[in-house]
Amino acid sequence: MNRLFITTFFTLILTVLSFGEKIKVIATIFPNYDFARNIGKEMAEVTLLLPPGVEAHSYEPTPRDMVRITTSDILLYTGEDMEPWVHRMSRNLPDSVTICDLSHGVNKVEDEDHGHSDPHIWTDPLLAMQMVDNVTEAFIQADPKNREYYTQNSKAYKNKLYQLHQKIEKELSSIDRRDVVFAGHMVFGYFAKRYDLTFTTPYRSFSPDAEPTPRRMAELITTIKKGGYSHIYFEELINPKSAKLIARETGAEILLLHGAHNLSKEDLKAGKSYIDIMEGNLKNLKRGLKK
């Protein structure tokens, strides 16, 4: 057998073996994971890096995660402010990994000290559509032969996101009050801006690490009593002790506003989607913002 024949033969075998093999996608947080599932569908094996129920902002990858990322085709992250470790590790990743910053092209809002920008872009469905465009680009770059497939899935999913946006816009246009008291960290800035709401929170930060000071809590309790709020909101996956304390002091009821960073084991098992979460939030907002 000549050399050319052997080379051709083995190339053929490798092509046959890789045919039908799914591309491996690692998504750092839940929205990225859900968007990737909707674009890759049966062509992709999408893994959520965060273990179920774990707080997203303080997460650092384990050595096992590092191995999974190194052997993947695509790494989807939310941006420098959400996953600062990606930048650190990207230098050591092989060229075979397509690294995609889902906030690429999005105008992010900075905090008062211009020290950090708000990473929670997915809370606005129209910005989520931009994130989906970035995900789609990454899929096409990593697997160009299926360009048409990813483009079609992307179009269909963005349609759903746009419908979600229209529904939220319409249903929130007729609520009685537009000021939300949220006992969690600063998650809903982009959402509030899109739908003309204001959020008051005892937190000062884009991450739940630093708990609110007693003074901020006391100020908030006064605001609630004066403002006659019937409901206040708490965030997912974190012990709602601030919310419970405020509720006890003011008589307000507590409702969930889910920031979608990550899901509980039960919600993941039940197949909850980003759109389900946003619709749940809409329902609770309509309930709590009635006079």
Contacts with Zn ion, 173-192, as mask; x by CB under 5 A? --------------x-----
Residue 138 Cβ, how far from Zn ion at the closest point, in Å? 23
Residue 232, judged by CB atoms within 10 A of its CB (0-12, 13-18, 19+), counts as: buried
Residues 97-111 as b or e (16 or more Cβ within 10 Å = b) = bbbbbbbeebebeee
Contact 181, 114 (CB under 8 A): no
Picking from 206, 166, 209, the residue whose alpha carbon sits closest to that of residue 81 is 206
Residue 118 Cβ, how far from Zn ion at the closest point, in Å? 9
Residue 167 Cβ, how far from Zn ion at the closest point, in Å? 24
Which residue in the shown chain puts its C-beta closest to Zn ion?
187
Nearest to Zn ion of 70, 207 (CB atom): 207
Residue 174 Cβ, how far from Zn ion at the closest point, in Å? 29
The count of chain residues that interact with Zn ion, using the rule CB under 5 A, is 1
Question: Which residues from 186-225 bind Zn ion, rule CB under 5 A?
Answer: 187
Residue 187 Cβ, how far from Zn ion at the closest point, in Å? 5
- As given in the structure block, the two tokens for residue 255 are 């409702």
Sequence letter at residue 236: E
Neighbours of 276 (CB within 10 A): 16
- Could you give the CA distance from residue 156 to residue 143 in angstroms, rounded to a whole number? 19
- Could you give the CA distance from residue 289 to residue 291 in angstroms, rounded to a whole number? 6
Nearest to Zn ion of 77, 139 (CB atom): 77
Contact 221, 250 (CB under 8 A): yes
Nearest to Zn ion of 183, 187 (CB atom): 187
Q: Assign 27 to helix, strand or coil.
A: strand
Nearest to Zn ion of 111, 171 (CB atom): 111
Nearest to Zn ion of 40, 202 (CB atom): 202
Contacts with Zn ion, 4-23, as mask; x by CB under 5 A? --------------------
Nearest to Zn ion of 40, 79 (CB atom): 79
Contacts with Zn ion, 139-178, as mask; x by CB under 5 A? ----------------------------------------
Neighbours of 185 (CB within 10 A): 23
Interface residues with Zn ion (CB under 5 A) are 187
